Structure 1
Amino acid sequence: MSRRIWLCADDYGISPGVNRAIRDLIENGRLNATSAMVVGPSIGRDEVNALAAAAKANPRCAIGLHVTLTAPFRPLTMHFRPTEGGLFLPHTKLLRRGLMGRLDSELIHTEVTVQLAAFVDLFGRPPDFVDGHQHVQLFPGVRAAFLAAVKTRAPNAWIRQCGRVRPWAQRLDSPKALVLDALSAQFRRRAARANIPFNPAFAGAYDFSKAAEFGALMRQFLHGMPEAGVVMCHPGFVDEVLISLDPLTVQREREYEFLRSEAFLPLLATNEVTLS
């Protein structure tokens, strides 16, 4: 029997081109989840209404909040710290400060709460799930505040952890995935104590700087993925807004092309997983 998984496109709201690609994939049954950045430059009423219209063709599509706490985006709260030039810190600096115990959990909690409220204002309802841009929800100094905000403001939402299916049995050829495995272990323990549901497994992390063949990567991501597991992806069309904000550009178009291709649905069937 097929297992239903979540194939989630991150970054809705970062640019018109990314939004357009995500909507097309949702409408054609190639995605069943997306997470929206309420601090992004392309998340106004028109883009939200267009996403809602696309999701009508795929009624089991989940829409979540992509909590964003890293540059080059700006906080929604006036007194958020630390910042650089009015922007959030780069993710490496935020992680370093978290590991050193130098983040103010109250300020983090307030920012996440305000982003949750902004989502409700835009979409007219709480998010189905909550995750984090550049996996910030896992960071020390962030995770406790993140979990507390979700527990209060989105009590029916599930959250995304980023541990793999069998991290101890997989090759040590993905440093990024190994870091996510380690950070996710503490995150899962805290979420379980707070009685907040989370996905049982995660895949989708890879080196975006390399011109990887996404079809081959997707075969790896789907292998052994359990019911309700999450596979993260970043499809999109490159436009000037995206280029100004994010180094992940051309690879987004490669992801889109594979997910829209005739090879994708047979790959799901071969791995006995479904999005419906």
Structure 2
Amino acid sequence: MTKFLIVNADDFGLSPGVNRGIAEAFAAGGITSASMMVNMPGFQDAVRLARLNPFLGVGLHFNLTYGKPLSEPRLVPSLVNSSGAYLGIRSAAAWTDKDIATELAAQWNRFVSTGLRPTHLDSHHLLHQNIPSVFNVMASWAEREGIPMRRSQTPIEPNGQQAWTTDYIWLDTYHEEDGLLRLLRCLHNLPDGTTEIMCHPGYADDILRELSEWANVREAEQAVFCHPSVGLTIQALGICPIHYGMLIKKRCEMERIPIPSLAAAPTDLIPAIEPAPEPQPLREKQQRLIHSGKNRKKKRSPAKRRRAGRASPARGRRRQRSRKRRKRPS
């Protein structure tokens, strides 16, 4: 059985430094996928890099703990404090399904308004792994949109919401001295089927240092996933590197269903294409004349050409000179 591998970098869109690190790791062959945060300072820069790297799978990194929601605070009261910022994971017990779904819809719509479509769905701080209400809302949304969701290691209730996902997931950090060695060992022991390896590469910038305590961790993982031995080992072991979008295509082909498009997104959030300008009336008239032949120069018949020649002054002078030459004595 073939071994398929998704190496997914979290927090795409967190800051320009993180974005640059993820793009470089993808170019080095160390990652195949990324999860984008749409409510953070580096979002527009991440969209730009995603368009420059169309073979990088990009999913939605649903965020309920960093910064502020995209929804108006009055629409998601259980998620925010008096200043409109997220309350954080410690207040998760008070989150309502309605508020979670409202903010998920807002973040999804922000993503697809760029013209991109998420290849998968996961969450910041692995919320869907630890909070059943978040998992149920996300799984329901992923099923509706026909996309996979990051595998949850938390046991799912038999009658609970299910999710389409990978066979395995490898949750680890690679910032310590033996990080590269542990990653290579993981690749050598990869099971048959589809496995996701989660990582957090990135370069520390001022925005990242202000938002996260993981700046040094990200730079250490940046060095690991940009190391040439990672891509070479994947190739040498015959592992097939993929992203979640390839799983979507394969599933749609097997089940003979259309590949999901942007049809589910609100039309007012997708830039409209302006129609081509109407042809000018004068040009239309010219086209009609051309097709009807009215403006073409008509060819004259031989008889008309002869008559025109007889009436020509030049031809008359030539005839007079010819008669004078014949009258001269020899």
Fold match by TM threshold 0.5: yes
- Match status 1:132 vs 2:126: no
Q: Residue 203 of structure 1 corresponds to which residue in structure 2?
A: 170
Cα deviation, 1:146-173, whole Å, max 9, x if unaligned, reads 2223333xx221100143xxxxxxxxxx
- Match status 1:16 vs 2:16: yes
Cα deviation, 1:94-115, whole Å, max 9, x if unaligned, reads 45x1xxxx32101101111111
* CA 1:203–1:121: 2 relative to 1, 3 Å: same
Q: Residue 77 of structure 1 corresponds to which residue in structure 2?
A: 71
Q: Residue 179 of structure 2 corresponds to which residue in structure 1?
A: 214
- Match status 1:65 vs 2:64: no
- Match status 1:87 vs 2:53: no
Instruction: Find the aligned partners of 1:254 and 1:225 in 2 and give their Cα distance.
Output: 26
* CA 1:224–1:30: 2 relative to 1, 3 Å: closer
Unaligned runs of 5+ in 2: 243-330
Structure 2 length normalisation: TM-score?
0.65
Pick from 137, 146, 161: which aligns with 2:151? 161
SS of alignment partner, residue 63 of structure 1: strand
How many Å apart are 1:43 and its aligned residue? 0.7
* CA 1:148–1:126: 2 relative to 1, 3 Å: same
Whether the 8 Å CA contact 1:238–1:249 is kept in 2: the answer is yes
Whether the 8 Å CA contact 1:5–1:225 is kept in 2: the answer is no
Whether the 8 Å CA contact 1:5–1:226 is kept in 2: the answer is no
Pick from 205, 211, 214: which aligns with 1:245? 211
Residue 217 of structure 1 aligns with an amino acid whose one-letter code is R
Instruction: Find the aligned partners of 2:38 and 2:68 in 1 and give their Cα distance.
Output: 11
How many Å apart are 1:143 and its aligned residue? 1.5
Q: Residue 47 of structure 1 corresponds to which residue in structure 2?
A: 46
* % identical equivalent positions: 22
SS of alignment partner, residue 87 of structure 1: coil
Whether the 8 Å CA contact 1:64–1:127 is kept in 2: the answer is yes
Cα deviation, 1:221-252, whole Å, max 9, x if unaligned, reads 43334432110000000101001111111111
How many Å apart are 1:48 and its aligned residue? 0.9
Residue 214 of structure 2 aligns with an amino acid whose one-letter code is L
Q: How does 1:136-151 map to 2 (within 5 A)?
A: 136-138=127-129, 139-151=131-143
* CA 1:188–1:116: 2 relative to 1, 3 Å: farther
Once structures 1 and 2 are overlaid, which stretch shifts more, 196-205 or 231-240? 196-205
Structure 1 length normalisation: TM-score?
0.77
Residue 233 of structure 1 aligns with an amino acid whose one-letter code is C
Residue 107 of structure 2 aligns with an amino acid whose one-letter code is Q
CA RMSD in angstroms comes to: 2.4
How many Å apart are 1:214 and its aligned residue? 1.6
How many Å apart are 1:272 and its aligned residue? 4.7
SS of alignment partner, residue 131 of structure 1: strand
* CA 1:262–1:27: 2 relative to 1, 3 Å: closer
Q: How does 1:102-117 map to 2 (within 5 A)?
A: 102-117=94-109
Whether the 8 Å CA contact 2:3–2:190 is kept in 1: the answer is no
Pick from 212, 231, 251: which aligns with 2:197? 231
* CA 1:5–1:116: 2 relative to 1, 3 Å: same
SS of alignment partner, residue 158 of structure 1: coil
How many Å apart are 1:212 and its aligned residue? 5.0
SS of alignment partner, residue 64 of structure 2: coil
How many Å apart are 1:269 and its aligned residue? 4.7
Q: Residue 286 of structure 2 corresponds to which residue in structure 1?
A: none
Pick from 106, 110, 115: which aligns with 1:118? 110
Q: Which has the larger Rg?
A: 2
Cα deviation, 1:28-75, whole Å, max 9, x if unaligned, reads 33211001000111111x4312222123xxx3x31100000113x211
Residue 89 of structure 1 aligns with an amino acid whose one-letter code is L
* CA 1:12–1:189: 2 relative to 1, 3 Å: farther
